């Protein structure tokens, strides 16, 4: 049991959830490592939502509300960490939810679908077809879902898939704690924040947003600036820590 007053309680609870979900085969073993990489970047970013990440989250809410067909793409890590939060985001935005896995097996699709449904998510069903310009099973998605979307949010996504979706002309939003990753660099809108904080913020902003505010956020999107600001936050934190921790 992690004591509730531990300074890094939330992070340690997420770590435990990922480990449990790995034993249940909801999270792929590769996903446990990815979560660790994310943890390291979250540590560097200060384990809080920065101002620029919050702006990105508000902008994401605007895109989801403005879309003709918005889809939330959910993988194992996202489901393990945020099933309930995905249900809230779906209610607030009306987006479709599609399960879409990098390490795809029918067993994992079913387990993740059940986990999401148990938490109140309406999961899009249908035959997955090879519709993305990628080789092998990574091309699979549902025709009425990701394939037809104009806005898709792909948290914790692989770089190739992110690129493929951008190439298809979709507006691609990602949540990725590494501002230098290929996914972060490729997406149209990159939220450099921890997944559960990000999704909760998008949902609460979506509930409040009016059309004019949304249009303005979309018009003013400057993803390079958002990424630069995230890197600067990390550098400032490192510089502070260096001063604090390495005084002779």
Residues that bind its own copies (CB under 8 A): 15, 18-19, 22-23, 29-30, 32-41, 43, 178, 180, 185, 222, 224-225, 227-228, 231-232, 234-235, 238-239, 241-242, 245-248
Structure-block tokens of residue 181: 């990753």
Ramachandran bin of 4, using left for φ above 0, alpha for ψ from -120 to 50, beta for the remaining angles: alpha
* Cα Dmax for the chain: 63
Q: Name which of 180 and 208 has its Cβ closer to its own copies.
A: 180
Q: Kindly state the smallest distance separating residue 227's Cβ from its own copies, in Å.
A: 5
> CA dist 186 to 158, 164, 177, 190, Å?
10, 10, 14, 9
Residue among 38 and 145 whose Cβ is closer to its own copies: 38
Residue 184 beta carbon to its own copies: minimum distance, rounded to whole angstroms: 9
Minimal distance, residue 59 CB to its own copies, in Å:
17
Cα pseudo-dihedral 98, 102, 104, 110, rounded to 10: -40
* Nearest to its own copies of 56, 92 (CB atom): 56
Give the nearest distance from C-beta 10 to its own copies in angstroms.
15
């Amino acid at each position: 049991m992690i004591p509730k007053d531990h300074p890094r309680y939330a992070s340690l609870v997420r770590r435990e959830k990922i480990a449990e979900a790995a034993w249940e085969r909801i999270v792929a073993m590769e996903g446990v490592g990815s979560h660790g990489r994310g943890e390291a970047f979250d540590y560097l970013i200060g384990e809080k939502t920065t101002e620029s990440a919050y702006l990105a989250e508000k902008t994401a809410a605007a895109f989801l509300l403005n879309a003709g067909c918005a889809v939330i793409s959910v993988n194992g890590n996202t489901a393990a960490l945020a099933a309930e939060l995905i249900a809230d985001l779906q209610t607030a935005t009306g987006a479709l939810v599609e399960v879409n896995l990098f390490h795809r097996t029918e067993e994992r699709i079913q387990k993740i679908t059940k986990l999401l449904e148990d938490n109140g998510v309406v999961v899009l069903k249908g035959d997955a077809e090879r519709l993305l310009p990628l080789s092998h099973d990574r091309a699979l998605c549902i025709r009425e879902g990701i394939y037809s979307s104009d806005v898709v949010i792909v948290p914790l996504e692989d770089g190739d898939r992110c690129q493929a979706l951008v190439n298809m002309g979709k507006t691609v939003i990602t949540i990725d704690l590494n501002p230098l990753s290929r996914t972060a660099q490729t997406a149209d809108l990159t939220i450099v924040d921890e997944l559960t904080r990000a999704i909760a913020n998008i949902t609460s902003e979506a509930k409040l947003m009016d059309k004019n505010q949304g249009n303005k956020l979309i018009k003013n999107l400057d993803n390079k600036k958002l990424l630069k600001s995230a890197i600067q936050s990390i550098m400032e934190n490192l510089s502070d820590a260096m001063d604090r921790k390495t005084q002779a």
